[in-house]
Chain A
Amino acid sequence: MQVLLNGTPAEIKEGSTIADLLEQLQIGRERVAVEVNLEIVPKSAYDSHTLATEDRIEIVHFVGGG
């Protein structure tokens, strides 16, 4: 199914949870934040939150800044 991942269209497996997606992208869950359709998903819900087609997903982390 198609989703919008960090602003870019992406194809992910039907029924994927956030945990599945992070694993597929090889992103550790500890130091990121995930937002789905402008709502932050708490880390405790990564395993249970199932993504849907056309979801707008943002995965952010910290970078250098002032």
Chain B
Amino acid sequence: MALENDKLIIAGREFSSRLMVGTGKYADFQQMVRALEVSGAEIITVAVRRVNISDRNKESLLDHIDLKKYTLLPNTAGCYTADDAVRTCRLAREAGLSDFVKLEVLGDEKTLFPDNEELLKAAKILVAEGFTVLPYCSDDVTVCRKLEDIGCAAVMPLGAPIGSGLGIRNPYNIKIILENIKVPVIVDAGVGCASDAAIAMELGCHGVLMNTAIAGAQDPIAMAEAMKLAVIAGRLSYKAGRIPRKLYANASSPIEGLLA
């Protein structure tokens, strides 16, 4: 197949799948495990939270995840300051023994848009401490360039607000980022359905990260498969090179030999 040697490389590590998925919001662990499997994802995001001390019977997420199969990408969801995000990343490294982190520093609860000032501050500290930082950021080439200059392993601009399912709202911004940034560009947040994921990939993005679009679908397992195929289709379509858009028709059948 045309994508056989088409690997996603993040900080020197190779991945065959360009779809990254979250582990939140599933009905139960069984559904999550199946969705992860069907999606073909190799990188999965997780959150860092307090262990429930009063109810120790609750099952643990990692009891259900094959760590030989998946690379964990702990996030800093819920952090509103650089200090909180850095603290969460350090805890994640200790718990998971990996340097990969999805860095998010949020501006407010309603939009969950990134606070880029705090994000840059946290990224600088974490890169210096040896973390492989994948930051969730605005679809803004200036902030992406600063994140790249700091030494982030990728940039992850949003397509639309987290969990909104509004799709890629500003494809031209994503295109500008792609033309000016050398590290992988991964659309993180906003995807609602398979065509949204395909659009991100057709723009030339190196990957797509999503959670709600799969976990919140009426049939998460079917949507996981749809997303897997959409990311592959979008990537192939990008590599194949689309025809230019034209305003008027251009016949597909020859004019010569028409019956008089």
A interface, CB within 8 angstroms of B: 5-8, 10, 25-27, 31-35, 38, 40, 42-43, 58-66
B46 touches A38 (CB 8 A): no
Tell me, in angstroms, the Cα distance from A26 to B82 when the chains sit together: 33
Range class of the B interface residue count: 35 or more
B249 within 8 Å of A (CB atoms):
no
Q: Chain B interface mostly helix, strand, loop or mixed?
A: mixed
1/0 per residue, CB under 8 A from A, across B203-231: the answer is 00000001110000000000000000000
Instruction: Say whether, besides A35-B91, A61-B60, A62-B72, A6 and B47 are in contact (CB < 8 Å).
Output: no
| Chain A residues with CB under 8 A of B23 | 64-66
A61 touches B49 (CB 8 A): yes
Instruction: Say whether, besides A6-B51, A25-B53, A38-B87, A62 and B94 are in contact (CB < 8 Å).
Output: no
B51 touches A64 (CB 8 A): no
Interchain Cβ contacts within 8 Å, total number: 100
| Chain A residues with CB under 8 A of B48 | 33, 60-63
B77 within 8 Å of A (CB atoms):
yes
Smallest CB-CB A-B distances: 7 pairs? A65-B47, A66-B211, A66-B22, A33-B94, A33-B95, A64-B24, A64-B23
B61 touches A63 (CB 8 A): yes
Tell me, in angstroms, the Cα distance from A27 to B96 when the chains sit together: 15
| Chain A residues with CB under 8 A of B60 | 31, 61
Write 6 A-B pairs (CB below 8 A) sorted by A numbering.
Answer: A25-B56, A31-B62, A35-B87, A38-B87, A60-B50, A64-B61
Contacts beyond the supplied A62-B48, A62-B74, A66-B23: 7 A-B pairs with Cβ under 8 Å: A7-B50, A25-B53, A34-B94, A40-B91, A60-B95, A64-B46, A64-B61
